[in-house]
Amino acid sequence: MSSAEKLGGLGIIPKRKRQKVTEVSSSHSKHEVRFQNLIIFIVERKMGSSRRMFLMDLARKKGFRVDDVLSDSVTHVVAENNSWNEIWDWIQNQKLSNADKLKVLDISWFTDSMAAGKPVDIEEQHRLQERKILQSNLPLASPVVTISQYACQRRSTVNNRNKIFTDALDMLAENFEFNENDGAFVAFSRATSLLKSLPYTISRMANLEGLPCFGEQTKAIIEEILEDGVCSKVESLLCDEKYKARKLFTSVFGVGLKTADKWYGQGFRTLEEVKAAKDLKFTKMQKAGFLYYEDINSAVTRPEADAVGQIIENIVQECTPDASVTLTGGFKRGKVKGHDVDFLISCLKEGKHEDLLHKTVRKLDIQGLLLHSDFMEATLEKRKLPSKQYDAMDHFQKCFLILKLNKALVNNRVLSVPSVSAVRPTNKEAEPEVNTKIKDWKAIRVDLVVVPAQQFAYALLGWTGSRQFERDLRRYTHHEKNMMLDNHGLYDKKKKVFLEAKTEEEIFAHLDLDYIEPWERNA
């Protein structure tokens, strides 16, 4: 999905600047209907006719059928700023024969579907009855709660009630990071993180009063979106040639910002142009990135992650029976989709993890499942103080892989291991058999990290994320507790000792923090 598609939801709440769009005809004849079994009705109440007309036209352009009038043929009713009781009472008055079958949804389902270009699965946050705090009933000032500046003292689930703002701020933060403007990147990232933790939707600027992490720039962005439904800086960025090229080039596995800028400076604007250039030399990782680009850039689902995890666990325990394989990253935080799958491998007995990663990767290769591997050996020979850099890479042995996942395993989860005689000869960079009529496998990005048992709790905390949660946890540790924390351990600078921990709960206890569950760390 392109940046424009992914952030398409940023422009779907027009109030002033976008009113001209409503002049476009709402006729279905101009647009092909791609989703025949779904008919949407958008409630005008508390929305206004101009905004409703714009949303209807937007949906039709994306292939959705939207009816002007509520009738028995409607399947999905979408409302904004209305309670379940308000909409349900209104529907009952319409005397529909299919009222009990209607899916009555919050506007968030509509915006997510527009961004995806297809109807997304209905989740709990999309159901109108789950919207317990109405924007219209919010106090003029922010609710009487104390909200910490640190993400590690806030609970952030996947239910983001302020996506219209966080999408904009995330994109601007990313561009600041591209431009190596660390100050602005951190400021926008902190503001985004706090918005994701709020149990209510920002509906007026007064809701920001008393909240930390908001500076003049971030407030200006939020105010513009509240007034106009769009952020002019975001819209300009979506049209910016350099930003689009950086975003595109860095989407290739193995391509960093320096390489992306180099290609941009050489005049390249598309991946096709880069691949066709005869004078460019690609690394082993970049070659794999281009070869499996389509698969790698399609989201990994939770069932796919579980299937990969079962394969890895079977092989690891075949090598070392008492070894454990633990899923981390976004999937551990409750996300249903991700870009890759991360696993920690650990052994109860010291020393038994040595060479385990190499053995595991060799078996993956023998079984015909290895498409690419890139090892990074452990670099920490003796115990050192935790790094002062919030985003510093840890020193564990790790391997970045691309694995070949049989699609049949995702559905039936019968994970039989192929015999050696049944697989192709081992060749680490041999191209897959892509000439078959039906491709029955998918390339999946996988990171394997081997962790000594005594450091497992710290590694699990660090690799679970989110990135901003971990940054703030380390910042809190340094500024509030006079300690140092990284993926290897926690050091008390006053007592001059490392604090041992067998679980994440013990680490939080060392820091005098309430324990935050993994699914509440989506900061």
Catalytic residue among 67, 374, 447, 492: 447
- H or E segment at 445? strand 441-450
Q: Characterize 343-381 residue by residue with b for buried, 16 or more Cβ atoms within 10 angstroms of its Cβ, and e for exposed.
A: bbbbbeeeebbeebbbebbbbbbbbbbbbbbeeeebeee
- Quote the tokens at residue 170: 């995330």
Closest CA to 271 of 284, 281, 260: 260
Beta bridge partners of 404: 443
3-state helix, strand, coil in the chain (%, to 5): 45, 15, 40
Strand arrangement, sheet containing 497-499: 483-485, 490-492, 497-499
Three-state secondary structure of 56-86: HHHHHHCCCEECCCCCCCCCEEEECCCCHHH
- Angstrom distance (rounded) from CA 202 to CA 24: 30
CA distance 395 to 451: 10
Non-local (6+) Cβ contacts of 518 within 8 A are 332, 333, 334, 464
Q: Where are the alpha helices (DSSP H) in 266-301?
A: 271-276, 284-291, 293-296
DSSP secondary structure string, 150-188? SGGGS-B-S--TTHHHHHHHHHHHHHHHHTT-HHHHHHH
**Among 295, 342, 394, 472, the one annotated catalytic:** 342
Whether residue 251 contacts residue 340, with contact meaning beta carbons closer than 8 Å, is answered with no
Instruction: Using the structure block, give the residue that is written with the tokens 């591209």.
Output: 178
DSSP reduced 3-state for 375: strand
First to last CA, the chain: 23
The pair of structure tokens assigned to 382 is 């003796």
CB atoms within 10 A of CB 482: 11
Positive/negative CA dihedral, 55, 56, 57, 58:
positive
Catalytic, 228? Answer no
Peptide bond into 466 cis (omega under 30): yes
Q: Half-sphere exposure of 26 toward its Cβ, with a 13 Å CA cutoff?
A: 16
106 is catalytic: no
Q: Classify the C-alpha dihedral 149-153-159-161 as positive or negative.
A: negative
* Cα distance between residue 350 and residue 355, in whole Å: 13
Is residue 340 among the annotated active site residues?
A: yes
Single out the catalytic residue among 340, 394, 472, 486: 340
**172 CB burial (10 A radius; 0-12, 13-18, 19+):** buried
The residues with which 42 forms a beta bridge, in sequence order, are 78
Residue positions annotated with a catalytic role:
340, 342, 447
